[in-house]
A and B are shown apart, each in its own frame.
Chain A
Amino acid sequence: MSRTKNVPDMRLLFEKSRPGRVGCNLPAPTTPEVDLQNELGAIRTELNLPELSELEVLRHFTHLSHINYGIETGFYPLGSCTMKYNPKVNERVASLSGFAGIHPLQPEETVPGALEVIACVQEMLQEITGFHRVTLQPLAGAHGELTCLMLIKAYHEARGDHGRKVVLVPDSAHGTNPASAARAGFSVQPIPTNQEGLTDLEALDAALGPDTAALMLTNPSTLGLFEKNIVEICERVHRAGALVFCDGANMNAMVGTTRPADHGFDCMHLNLHKTFSTPHGGGGPGCGAIGVQANLAPFLPKPVIERDAGGRAVFRHDVPQSIGKVSPYYGQFLLAVRALSYLLAFGREHMAEISRHAVLNANYVQARLKDVLPPAHDRFCMHECVLTAQPYKKHGVRALDISKRLIDYGFHPPTNYFPLIVPEALMIEPTETETKETLDAFCDALRSICREAVENPQLLHDAPGSQVVGRLDETAAVKNLDVCWRPS
């Protein structure tokens, strides 16, 4: 049998380079020539960058796009990542030169439209979350967490309460939570999740003390479940003199249905690149707005953007108790433009449809799969469901094998092995923008794979076989570290 599959061209830009080529018709100089040595002192002699024609550059990256997968390629049910449709109109408006061609340090009176965009996003997010103030300055979700913890640190310090050095983090939390707490100078104490997948109130009480600065809680939890006792939890933490941070990774379950500030949280971060549909771009840029109650507002990063008496959006640089700057300017402005375009498209009439259909889709997938992939907790889920592939372990099949096989069926795999407390976890977040037909096709694929897992597990172990590469040797990647091409 002969293989006819084309061998893909995996050459690097550097390997396609020919000395002397330039791939751009650059601005020609119009000013007199200068003696570079005279102007600069020493001049660089060696610089290795590839040299290609413009068409070759485009073909290179077009080829790379063909061996990459995005939401526009197909279904992307990566749990906790909220991979929903990124509307095209948002891209169009963000590319307007009146937004893209402005500088953060140009005079305030020359950017009223930009400040209006930021103020509108802040106000709409305040209404959606219920918080007193929102700032867009943090640059990504983890950066929003870090900023919130810095605010909490400043809050305790301003009260002269210097002994609060510990942040409580449930064992089901995202890794960014403890890492952000450490970066804000706190030590981390894990607290367990109970049998129902919720915060263990007794363990919480035992952990709370005069050294507790805050509790970081994801709601709905990373198990896709709503903390039924959230009001009680926040009250207990407050009674202990600590504050409560809400990890907003799962806000998609709540938009228009319930507001985190009403639950008793003091602050939260939002991932605009998840909930509010700014494209994730293969790992960023993110956009990590935060919301705070009035108790934390004096400490917000500066400048603050707010409205003056006449209703105009303006900077306020005088924020005497501010923690300072967590990012150089006003956050991911061009993503704020996209988020506003998304928010205004939904508006008052349709905002709640986001959470309602996200939850409907997740429960539908859970219902269609529960006989082959049992849910970690047999309850209605929120916007995502956490299933376990534990029944297939006895056939030598792990969650990862199922995921890799899904690639052969043309679907992006769910999140694997998270949350850490669920064995063989498959965390599926369909989002509201997927059709029933897509969900059916996905569920059919998973059901078929579960049959294969019993009848022919080798198919799963060998997966994926449909891509330019098979499973990669990650041990070799670490041991023979090659992160930067060098001419051989």
Chain B
Amino acid sequence: MNIPSELKYTKSHEWVRLEDGVAVVGITDYAQKELGDVVYVELPEVGRTLAEDEAFGTVESVKTVSELYAPVAGKVVEVNALLAEKPEAVNADPYGEGWMVKIEVEGEPTGLLDADAYAAVCED
């Protein structure tokens, strides 16, 4: 299982990469494996403001639907348009091509986990 050490994580299996006040968000390798083949990703409209932990979309495999929760508060500035055509990118490259949204961070995120803490969550 791939848990890159430079990223932050949530208990609900999102990952976050913080770059100059913008958070790039996706779901983890563990999450994509649990889901199986991803067939649809529903993402928010650009410009929507999210609270921390707010549900902002869904990711679907053939027989499951998982909610996506915002790891940070802020405004959605970009969504990954590629996923409409190629949702399988979430399986193939969860930390790269399979990213989901970019959020302009407002305030200080609380409760993000580092790689070790997240690994412990996955083992439970």
Report which A residues bind B (CB closer than 8 A). 474-475, 477-479
Q: Within the complex, what minimum Cβ distance (angstroms) separates B45 from chain A? A: 23
Q: How far is the CB of A395 from chain B (nearest CB, A)?
A: 19
B120 at the interface (CB under 8 A from A): no
Closest Cβ of chain A to B62, distance in Å, is 4
Known: A474-B62, A475-B39, A477-B62. 8 other contacts (CB 8 A): A474-B63, A475-B36, A475-B37, A475-B61, A475-B62, A478-B39, A478-B40, A478-B62
Task: Report the minimal beta-carbon distance from B98 to chain A, rounded to whole angstroms.
Answer: 16
Tell me what chain B mostly uses at the interface: helix, strand, loop, or mixed: loop
* 8 A Cβ contacts from B27-74 to A: 36-37, 39-40, 61-63
Categorize the interface residue count of chain B.
Answer: under 10
Cα(A477)–Cα(B40), bound, Å: 13
Q: Min CB distance, A416 to chain B, in Å?
A: 10
Report the minimal beta-carbon distance from B69 to chain A, rounded to whole angstroms: 17
Can you pick out 12 interface pairs between chain A and chain B where the beta carbons lie within 8 Å of each other?
A474-B62, A474-B63, A475-B36, A475-B37, A475-B39, A475-B61, A475-B62, A477-B62, A478-B39, A478-B40, A478-B62, A479-B39
A-B contact count (CB 8 A): 12
List residues of chain A with CB within 8 A of the CB of B36: 475
Q: Is the interface of A mostly helix, strand, loop or mixed?
A: helix
- Residues of B within 8 Å of A475, CB to CB, are 36-37, 39, 61-62
Q: How far is the CA of A479 from the CA of B61 in the complex (A)?
A: 11
What is the CB-to-nearest-CB distance from A133 to chain B, in angstroms, rounded to a whole number?
38
For residue A74, give the distance in angstroms from its CB to the closest CB of chain B: 26
Chain A nearest Cβ from B87, distance in angstroms: 8
Nearest B residue to A417, CB-CB: B63
A355-B39 Cα distance, complex, nearest whole Å: 43
**CB neighbours of B40 from chain A (8 A):** 478
Give the complex CA separation of A478 and B36 in angstroms.
Answer: 13
**Nearest 9 interchain pairs by C-beta:** A475-B37, A478-B39, A474-B62, A475-B62, A479-B39, A478-B62, A475-B39, A478-B40, A474-B63
CB-nearest residue of chain B to A481: B39
For A474, list chain B residues within 8 Å (CB).
62-63
Which residues from chain B contact A478 at a C-beta distance below 8 Å? 39-40, 62
- What is the bound-complex CA distance between A478 and B37, given in angstroms? 11
- Report Cα–Cα, A479/B37, bound state, in Å: 10
A474 to B38, CA, bound (A): 11
Note all chain B residues with C-beta closer than 8 A to A479: 39
Complex formed: what's the CA distance from A474 to B63 in Å?
Answer: 9
Chain A neighbourhood of B39, CB < 8 A? 475, 478-479
Q: How far apart sit A243 and B61, CA to CA, in the bound complex (Å)?
A: 37
- A81 CB to closest chain B CB (Å) equals 18
Within the complex, the shortest CB–CB distance from B122 to chain A, in Å, comes to 17
Q: Which residues of A contact B61 (CB under 8 A)?
A: 475
Give the CA-CA distance A477 to B61 in the complex, in Å: 12
B66 CB to closest chain A CB (Å) equals: 14
Who on chain A is nearest to B87 by CB?
A479
